[in-house]
Structure 1
Amino acid sequence: MTTVQEKQKIQQAFKERMDEDELLNCMRCGFCLPSCPTYIESGFKESHSPRGRIALMKAVVDGVIEPDEEVERTLDLCLGCRACEPVCPSGVNYGHLLEEARDIINQNKKHSLPARIVRKTVFEGLFPHPDRMRMVTNLLGIYQRSGLQKAVHTTGVMKLFPESMATMERVLPQVPKLKEMKERPTSLSSIGEVRKKVAFFSGCLMDTMFLETNKATTKLLQLAGCDIVIPETQTCCGALHGHSGEKDAAKGLAKRNIEAFEANGVDYIITNAGGCGAFLVDYDHLLKDDPDWQDRALRFKNKIKDISSILVELEFHKKPLTVPPQRITYQDSCHLRNVQRTFVEPRLLLQSVEGADYVEMKQADHCCGSAGIYNIVESDMSMKILDHKMENVEDTRATTIITSNPGCLLQMKLGIEREDLSDKMRAIHIVDFLLEAVD
């Protein structure tokens, strides 16, 4: 329960920190409504739409309403997919408004003790520290390899957990051993003629739980003619912090990453996770009020490029690429499409693979319901969105669903498991699929 004093502090902070020009940019035209998953799944509830949430933010700024639990709830229910931004005729930066509002609320209210412990553990104790991420991931690997996971399934212990969590546990990838996670190269040479020098943003979850996908990414870059630098001092991108009202922590991580990459003299900084890439290209906005970092953040931003974009630039799609006959479809990463505006390149690559019958999915640009940890903290809404997504997947009659973000990948695997389609369909990251086509 938010106290009267907390509401007053939140309201004052809204007046001081919210960008009123950006709030006024919204013309209330409603172009965003068909693109908003929570608006659709809530039965067209106006307060769960982008323009409804902007109206609530403006009302708090103007003192028309209090920043009560209902306001906080509607902001929390937003996926942050930013599908409203490309269709907005006024170009409203909704994602920036949402993150600022969440940060204001988080910084000016007192969380329960369990919530404070969880937030401190996750945001301060885990994600900013690569060594700790590797240790925690290694515990998962021990659970998988020791036979404990099989025993848990046999005894039915997972039935005590919510259905979505129990299913998610079954679709987690087989994680590498600790030694493999630690023995990561800091540079790799091109295979053949050098065409570009790039740095690779390895991420936190990507470089632990999805290490094989990172390896596939660097292999493709080498084959495309890239010398690769992998800075050891890079850290978590800060997306989870920024989306969860921990903006100061996100700024700290941004500065660490800028420092890690800026001295390498590379043409591009390559990402393979849509969510990370979208937050990295927003570093200039994140640090806009810090004159010592503004220009550095902008230079960093201008070098960010998704793996699919550089592969197309280097004409990788013109190489011989072949897979066994299969029907494939593609699920967009919301942030890769809506923030980085990268959606043609993945499709061009996939359509160039011989043996792959590419079928465009209906509403492939709509969110799958993953949204970071949204499918854990807002499971009911996430599963409603996923159920509709799987209807569209099944309509394609594809045997392979391809994604470009780890959260989307796990969500699609979750959907396949929920629909009992594991013997007919698989989900795979685009770089893993392309490496199959090369091999």
Structure 2
Amino acid sequence: MKLAEKERISQEFKEKMDYDELLNCMRCGFCLPSCPTYIESGMDESHSPRGRIALMKAVVDGEIEPDEDVKRSLDLCLGCRACEPVCPSGVKYGHLLEQARNIIYQNNKQSLPEKAVRNIVFNHLFPKQNRMVSAASLLGFYQRSGLQKVARSTGIMNFFPESLRTMEKVLPSVPKKKDMKNRPNHLPAISVQKKRVAFFTGCLMDTVFMTTNDATMKLLQYAGCEIVIPNTQNCCGVLHGHSGEREKAKEMAKRNIEAFEGMNVDYIITNAGGCGAFLVDYNHLLKDEPEWMERAKNFSEKIKDITSILVELNFQQEHLELDNQIVTYQDSCHLKNGQKTFMEPRTLLQSIKGVKYVEMKDASRCCGSAGIYNIVESEMSMQILDYKMEQTKKTKAKTIVTANPGCLLQMKLGIEREGLSDTMQAVHIVDFLLEAYENTH
């Protein structure tokens, strides 16, 4: 970093970092055993939550410069927030990390290629759902046209890093463009109506993972929910918020709040742990904007994960059955640590006849996906995934269930890397539950 950049970053750390929150950290170390990067880095204190907080505070206090080592420490953080539930002081580490990254990335000069990629991704792709549909349809064309077979057979894929080559193998079959554009905006309850809910479709979830969104809506209908799906909603903004694009995240949050206001619904349902945790945090994201504070609070209070509403509506008492198999569950970090949803997925899985549920050791430790972390920090991500697969194999499970698209792809990637594709599968919990329900109804 150049001197001018360091000075700007230092000044903004003093002005914008939540100093009271930094002071809340007692340096007790309770967070250390819960931090994957601390463990996998050989217990390097600079890659622990309290170490990163100490670095942030030191920059604010003028004791150190915000140099590349500080940036590297923050970049290597998964943002899984596993440190928050175990912190006796209740430090909101995730908020501090977002603040620090935003300051650094907004003031750190980027190379032209990096600047171009960030501009395309953050300004012209994720905020525009029609462009997400177009981009996803290109991937679908690649899969269906035979290009995928050609790329694999000719060795073109060998020019890509190993993690990307493996990821290409485990991507779901993408729907056709016309199907991604022809989405419902209202669905009635199939059984006796118990709730009226809105459904947050997401960007990737309603394109690449569209079949899982369809399964989610079917489950809600079976459980007795009338569903409204506003077509003016957009990406939740989590990728922006976690990547130093806070102002863009705020814009997207405001659009979503406007889209769901006045719908007279009991809940806004999500099926992606990462999206849900960020939506729940809109009231914090917009806390400095008086005209949005109350609106954001009302929005955030209605967010509920699909597993939570299913348990609330006693879906676990339905006749659910599958062929005999051992199943384990990988927690979505943000579903557990952000939305505080932990037991509901387990309750649902344990209610399926024919399923033997085996709890995985460290099921709530991050799998290493963390948005685009497994691409930009591939080495650390694969270290974390290797540990996760060790624990998975010990359960002897045929099926790994998770509740977030990033986790799902990461676990599929782990299965592929371990050569277990013939004996093990990874599925989203709503796809698994829908199969169990329709198998007996």
Gaps of 5+ in 2: none
- 2:409 equivalent in structure 1: 410
C-alpha distance in 2, partners of 1:421/1:116? 39
How far does residue 160 in structure 1 lie from its aligned partner after superposition?
Answer: 1.3
Deviation at 1:70, TM superposition (A): 0.4
What is the match of residue 390 of structure 1? 389
Whichever residue aligns with residue 55 of structure 2, its letter is: L
Distance apart, 1:159 and its partner CA: 1.2
Distance of 2:138 and 2:4 partners within structure 1: 43
Q: Match of 1:401, SS? A: strand
Deviation at 1:15, TM superposition (A): 0.3
| Inter-partner Cα distance in structure 2 for 1:385 and 1:28 | 25
Structure 1 segments of 4+ aligned residues over 6 angstroms from their partners: none
- Counterpart Cα distance in 1 of 2:191 and 2:168: 41
1:357 alignment partner, SS class? strand
Residue 400 of structure 2 is matched in structure 1 by 401
Q: Which amino acid aligns with 1:177?
A: K
Task: Give me the whole-angstrom Cα distance separating, in 1, the residues matched to 2:338 and 2:164.
Answer: 29
Q: In the TM superposition, what is the alpha-carbon distance from 1:157 to its structure 2 partner?
A: 1.3
Whole-Å Cα distance in 2 between the matches of residues 119 and 17 of structure 1?
A: 23
- 1:82-129, Cα deviation, whole Å (9 max, x unpaired): 000000000000000000000000111211100110000000000000
Q: How far off is 1:133 after superposition?
A: 0.2
SS at match of 1:235: coil
Q: In the alignment, what sits opposite 2:364?
A: 365
C-alpha separation in 2, matches of 1:390 and 1:262: 42
Does 2:218 align with 1:219?
yes
Shift of 1:265: 0.6
Q: 1: distance between equivalents of 2:121 and 2:185?
A: 27
What secondary structure is seen at the aligned counterpart in 2 of 1:13? helix
Please list the CA deviations of residues 49-104 of structure 1 after superposition, one character each: whole Å capped at 9, or x if unmatched: 00000000000000000000000000000000000000000000000000000000
The residue identity in structure 2 corresponding to 1:283 is Y
1:174: Cα distance to partner? Answer: 0.2
Alignment-derived partner of residue 431 in structure 1: 430
Which AA in structure 1 matches 2:232?
T
**Aligned 1:245-260 pairs, distance under 5 A:** 245-260=244-259
Cα distance in 2 for residues equivalent to 1:437 and 1:370 = 27
Query: CA-to-partner distance for each residue in 1:247-301, whole Å, 9 max, x for gaps?
Result: 0000000000000001101000000000000000000000000000000000000
Percent identity of paired positions between Structure 1 and Structure 2: 70
Matched residue, 1:419: 418
Q: Provide the residue aligned with 2:269 in structure 1.
A: 270
SS, match of residue 354 in structure 2: strand
SS at match of 1:293: helix
**Shift in Å at residue 155 of structure 1?**
1.2
Give the match for residue 332 of structure 1.
331
Match of 1:197 in 2: 196
Aligned-residue offset at 1:436? 0.5
Structure 2 residue aligned with 1:377: 376
Aligned counterparts of 1:238 and 1:141: Cα–Cα separation in 2: 24
Q: Which residue of the partner structure matches residue 31 of structure 2?
A: 32
TM-score by length of structure 1 reads 1.00
Instruction: Write the deviation string for residues 306-331 of structure 1: whole angstroms up to 9, x where unpaired.
Output: 00000000000000000111110000
**What one-letter code is carried by the residue in structure 2 that aligns with 1:362?**
K
**Amino acid across the alignment from 1:95:** G
Q: Residue type of the partner of 1:53?
A: R
- Whole-angstrom distance in 1 between the partners of 2:412 and 2:185: 31
The equivalences for 1:345-364 within 5 A come to: 345-364=344-363
d(CA) in 2 for partners of 1:432, 1:367? 22
Q: Alpha-carbon deviations, 1:349-396, whole Å to 9, x = none?
A: 000000111000000000000000000000000000000000000000
Read off the aligned partner of 2:260 and give its amino acid letter.
F
Instruction: Output the CA distance in 2 between the equivalents of 1:200 and 1:109.
Output: 38
Instruction: Supply the AA of the counterpart residue of 2:314.
Output: E
Rounded to whole Å, the distance in 2 between the matches of 1:251 and 1:348 is: 35
| One-letter amino acid of the counterpart of residue 199, structure 1 | A
Aligned to 1:317: 316
Match for residue 53 of structure 1?
52
Aligned residue identity for 1:314? L
1:375-433 per-residue CA deviation (whole Å, 9 max, x = no partner) reads 00000000000000000000000000000000000000000000000000000000000
Task: Give the equivalent residue in structure 1 for 2:6.
Answer: 7
Number of the residue aligned with 1:78: 77
CA RMSD between the two structures: 0.4
Post-superposition offset of 1:348:
0.1
Greater CA drift, 106-115 or 330-339:
106-115
Give the match for residue 209 of structure 1: 208
Structure 2 SS opposite 1:427? strand
CA distance in 2 between counterparts of 1:317 and 1:386 reads 31
Instruction: State the Cα distance separating 1:18 from its structure 2 match.
Output: 0.5
In 1, distance between residues paired with 2:195 and 2:309?
A: 10
In structure 2, the residue matched to 1:115 is 114
Rounded to whole Å, the distance in 2 between the matches of 1:266 and 1:401 is 33
Question: What does residue 302 of structure 2 align with?
Answer: 303
Count of matched residue pairs: 438
Residue identity matched to 1:112? S
Indicate the SS of the match to 1:305.
strand
SS at match of 1:280: helix
SS at match of 2:56: helix
In structure 1, the residue corresponding to 2:254 is in which secondary structure? helix
| Mapping for residues 51-200 of structure 1, pairs under 5 Å | 51-200=50-199
